[in-house]
Amino acid sequence: MKTLLTHVSTPDDLRALPAELLPGLAREIRDFLIEKVSAAGGHLGSNLGIVELTIALHRVFDSPDDAIVFDTGHQAYVHKILTGRRDAFDGLRVRGGLSGYPSRDESPHDHVDSSHASTALAYADGMAKARRLAGEGGRSVVAVVGDGALTGGVAWEALNNLGADRGLPVVVVLNDNGRSYAPTVGGWAEHLDRLRAAPGFSVFESLGLRYLGPVDGHDIAALEQALRTARELRTPVVVHCVTRKGRGYGPAVQDLDEHLHAIPASDPATGQPLSPPRGTWTHAFSHHLCALGERRRDVVAVTAAMPGPTGVAAFGRRFPGRMFDVGIAEQHAMASAAGMAMSGLHPVIAIYATFLNRAVDQVLMDIALHRLPVTLVLDRAGITGPDGPSHHGMWDLATLAVVPGLRVAAPRDAVRLGELLDEAVACDGPTALRFPKVAVEAEIPPVGSVGEVDVLASGGQDVLLVAVGAMAGPCLSAAALLAGSGIGVSVVDPRWVIPVSPDLRKAVGGSRLVVTVEDGIASSGVGALVRQGCAPGQGVLNLGLPCAFIGQGGRSELLAEAGLTGQGIARAAGDALRALDRT
């Protein structure tokens, strides 16, 4: 017997389906998601929770003429299934395959390449205003926003503007499951709790928006009725839909901490990873942070809605009252940490490197300008892999390189991570540590030192490889290949990579060719700073990532494309050395 899902490839197909068949379609979509996401890895819990809501959206609104924008985009898998991309899920999140987020290159139904949180309301505000000016005000704009995304300040900036323009046909669909990655926090979460328990006057109405709800987010008929009412109001309106993350999948519902938010390739029967997890940089950081907390009562941890993924949850359990989850609010995290540091604490702010982009002004003007002892710990630095351009943490070194007074460290292994974290917290000014999303490296002991600079290999002065953090392993592999060709090569790890230290300038001084290797922007990161300190006429080669939006793919695959492997580094260094010989 053919399934319902095989008959639904477009929103028109969905609208033609009799209403009594929709619960069966929802079950088939959940089965499909469990099968495909378990095979490829990806965001599962959030998509299992939004099945009925997405069905209702595409039955009420006429996509793509009516724009549906998802915030954040990881909850758009069902939307992709219903807009003609079901057969592409075998290539989910692989190089050249289906993106794990909305993608304008994939479909006209995707209006925004959305993935960072809290932005959809601003997109919707701008799109609706532009359509009105073009005489297309009859077309609706729908922003599907998780309750966690509304802990971000930019969402409230957009609500403030939407509430002041009653003529915009913007429907804000609040997908309220009580969570972002972790449970939603703060006064906003308490307000939603009250609305769920006893519907009454909402904060949205005080801002000038209409409010409908709460609605059972798994009752398709009730959802369709509320959405039709919202569409017909032709004014900014919030439809409050209460859903359950991970609905319909036992392992996700029982996963009380994360509801299987994002998973690697897993056994669909149990939700457990197919490959046993290896020790990660995040786990190593968590261990060192807890040990540091025992010794330093002034150390506190701050995170932006991700205590588990950034490794500070264990610190919070061990030291109640010393871990602060501020929600999806990186700007507030930085400024609040500045206030803590002004008052005698040493905050350690743990966020993903990609989300540092959202708080650069606060790093500059609230932390660095005041020379405050705040430590940023940037997880998922460099190439992260299948989440694509929005989640690569590749801009941190280039960005932090221009912050006066900030010191940046890049540990090459877990031992150095502990050492550098201790050194960072001992500083009386701002510091940052960065590490990648990958299994933690085996210890790479130094064979010598030049002051604070570790010497990892000492084999001559033809080529000096300057390894930034996790690039130490590939640099040592490259050194072995170069040495096999009769080239004298040494490898150093600066440990503290920004600013360039006098010790590193001393270390590079006698080498014919200095090659810097980093998983950041090659043209404007550590290498660019090292180049400035090299002697006139000295050969310098900066290896790193291109200044471009790099697509999704495996980390090792993308690093290889950028030449950041042992073979790639050796080849580039050999070519540069031969070019020097010809001059």
Which is the catalytic residue, given 93, 179, 231, 245?
245
In which residue are the tokens 């032709």 written?
234
**Number of C-alpha atoms within 13 angstroms, CB side, residue 346?**
23
Residue 448 CB: number of other CB atoms within 10 A?
Answer: 12
Is 177 annotated as a binding-site member? yes
List phi, psi (to 5°) of 17: -75, 135
Is 368 strand, coil or helix? helix
For residues 435 and 460, the answer to whether their CB atoms sit within 8 Å is no
Alpha helices by DSSP H, 50-169: 51-60, 77-80, 120-133, 153-162
Q: 360: which residues sit within 8 A by CB, 6+ positions away?
A: 399
In which residue are the tokens 């075998």 written?
90
Is 249 annotated as a binding-site member? yes
Query: Is residue 278 among the annotated active site residues?
Result: no
Is 115 annotated as a binding-site member? yes
User: Quick one: CA torsion of 262, 117, 191, 311, rounded to 10 degrees?
Assistant: 50
Indicate the length of the chain as a whole number.
583
463-467 and 489-493 strand pairing: parallel
CA 189, CA 174: separation in Å to the nearest integer? 13
Is 149 annotated as a binding-site member? yes
Is 74 annotated as a binding-site member? yes
Q: 337: which residues sit within 8 A by CB, 6+ positions away?
A: 302, 347, 349, 367, 374
Which is the catalytic residue, given 330, 434, 437, 495?
330
Strand partners, 266: 273
Query: Is residue 358 among the annotated active site residues?
Result: yes
Is 147 annotated as a binding-site member? yes
**Number of C-alpha atoms within 13 angstroms, CB side, residue 418?**
13
CA 89, CA 85: separation in Å to the nearest integer? 7
Is 443 annotated as a binding-site member? no
Q: Nearest-CA neighbor of 469 among 490, 445, 497?
A: 497
Which is the catalytic residue, given 30, 131, 322, 358?
358
| Residues annotated within a binding site for Mg(2+) | 147, 177
Just list the catalytic residues. Answer: 245, 330, 358
| Residues annotated within a binding site | 74, 115-117, 147-149, 177, 249, 330
